Amino acid sequence: MNHYKAIIAYDGTDYAGWQVQPEKLAIANIMQNTFAKTFGKPIKLIGASRTDAGVHALGQVASFSTNILISPYQLQVAWNNLLPNSIVIRSLQKTETFFHPQAYVKQKTYWYHFFTARPLPFVERYGSYYRYALNIEKLKETFTVFTGTHDFRSFYTGNEQKNAIRTIDSISLQYFKRWNIYRVEIRGKSFLRFMIRRIVGACMDVASRNLPIALLQKVLEERDPNQRLPNAHAKGLMLNKIIYE
């Protein structure tokens, strides 16, 4: 059996996320079905990160095994040729043993893109248009509440994780004049479901309504997943890269 590691980019706009789902169009569904059509054999893809519906990826990492005797280059080219334009395998390599993409993760980097003016149609799919006046300097200050190790129960949706303690290594903000777009970059080893979108949405709400930053600290400490601060839209979120130990 041959084992492979793949790095995949995709536009998640029209998909129900990465994870295979019955009766829904997911990235892994498309890739597995396309592999079977191309090579006549099934595979099971394991992804490093379960990106949700509408979320994009530049560096999703996945692994699979197959007994097909073909070079990684030929496999990548043939597979890419049948994938839709919204999904591309950026690299494909053999591994000596089975590589589990969720193990030995050192750091994940996510980007959240947003616009403060109506965006150009070429980039509109990859950022959220924030229609309210936004204090950018205050937004930067709000990020300090979340850096470090905290219990993120108030900024997590779902109940599959009993432990909500996570560490955010850094949160920063950049502006790209060419596209008139802002990028929030968040780095950490692991994140809870909707955690990044809930944090970004809450920070933007505080920065736009001139609410006290202490409100975010209070909500964080209350550990209430039903808190009512808004979520940021899925279309702005992108998994950029994953670094392994």
Please give the positions annotated as active site.
52
Distance of CA 19 to the CA centre of its chain: 12
Selection from 243, 241, 232 nearest residue 112 by Cα: 232
CA distance 60 to 240: 8
Give the single-character DSSP code of 28.
H
Distance of CA 57 to the CA centre of its chain: 6
Strand runs labelled E in 72-231: 87-95, 105-115, 128-129, 148-151, 165-176, 181-188
CA distance 115 to 124: 9
* Cross-strand partners of 114: 128, 182
CA distance 46 to 140: 35
